[in-house]
Amino acid sequence: MVRTVSFSGHRTYKDDETNRHRLDAMLASCHAAGYRRFLSGMAEGFDLAAAEAVLRLRARHPDVWLGAFVPFRGQARRFSEIDRARYERILATADECRILSERYEGGCFHARNDLLVEEGELLLCYYDGSPGGTRHTLRKAHRKGIRIVNLYQEAGTLFPNDPL
């Protein structure tokens, strides 16, 4: 069975050199631990940065697989021009692109997040404690007993029995 990492994080994630290095190092550790399948929800911020990091990892390790879980067709319409271009490049190179709905519908982001939790064994996130979809995803993963690694925290790891 292929081991799977899912991503969830804030749109406010800063894709700077320090965070890029931390993300690349974490994905290298995941690969060394046997993870080969990586799933992104394709939102601006952390999701796009994580997908790009997977593509950098795949350049060194061709056995790496990237899935793009898009909550609805047209998700990137309101992205900045730069992020829309990043999004399109990622979709063009992903191994799988699942579009969950043909149009925006209430709950489509939660459905995407639930699917990320359903299919992942490890949730790699960037969570600063604020409310929103990332919190929802973390709570769902926590209830399922999935290991959570938070790149926002200095310590990094939230174990399934830690309170959120």
pLDDT in tens, 95-111: 999 999 999 999 999 99
pTM, entire model: 0.92
Asked whether residue 9 is domain-assigned, the answer is yes
Residue 158: beta bridge partners?
Answer: 148
Asked whether residue 60 is domain-assigned, the answer is yes
Domain count, the chain: 1
The CATH number of the domain where 28 resides is what?
3.40.50.450
Asked whether residue 140 is domain-assigned, the answer is yes
pLDDT at 129: 85
Asked whether residue 126 is domain-assigned, the answer is yes
Instruction: Give the pairing type, strands 157-158 and 147-150.
Output: antiparallel
Asked whether residue 164 is domain-assigned, the answer is no
Asked whether residue 111 is domain-assigned, the answer is yes
**Containing structural domain, residue 81:** 3-158
**pLDDT under 50: residue ranges of the chain:** 154-155, 159-164
